[in-house]
Amino acid sequence: MLCQRCKKKEANVFYRESINGKETNYSVCSDCAREMEEKGEIKNHLSHFESHPTGFGDLFSSLFGAVSAVPGVREATLGKRCSLCGASYSDIAKNGKTGCPQCYSVFSGELSGTVNRIHGNTAHRGRAPKAWKEKLDRTALLESLKKELSESIKAEEFEKAAELRDKIRAIEKSN
């Protein structure tokens, strides 16, 4: 597809804006996009991508939040490193991926908002290996039964509590 503006180069910037319900789409080359951005016609932020050798620039930093821009995060995470792989939060923000599974636990406070924005949830929803899924289901069931047990004891429903206790013991034995 050719650039809508110069009609010479291949369009590689696709921009869509919606103002008061009126939607405008642009398919332009990077040169025309830069000119339009300089004139204030569009807010492209193309420079973030072009300035970085991988072509992704600060994309990951923007997803994870600039470490220095988030109040309290820089101070809290400055010295914190994963004990397993040695990654810091700034390494994760720079690379766009954690160093190991333990990073999710170490940086749970910092990562939860980002993971939620990207995936829409912080708990796994979807397909999983059968054995792992069964273990997860068993854990969720145990938590639910223990909560119900606690509520039964508070309500002084001791017969129901005894039944729940027995169910919990049976599940724990099967693990």
- pLDDT band for position 94 (50/70/90)? confident
pLDDT, average across residues 45-53: 43
For residue 159, pLDDT over 70 is answered with: yes
Evaluate the CA torsion angle 99, 103, 108, 110 in order and state its sign.
negative
φ, ψ of residue 17 to 5 degrees: the values are -130, 150
Tell me what pLDDT residue 163 has. 95
Average pLDDT value for the chain: 76
The DSSP symbol for 16 reads E
Q: Higher pLDDT residue, 56 or 38?
A: 38
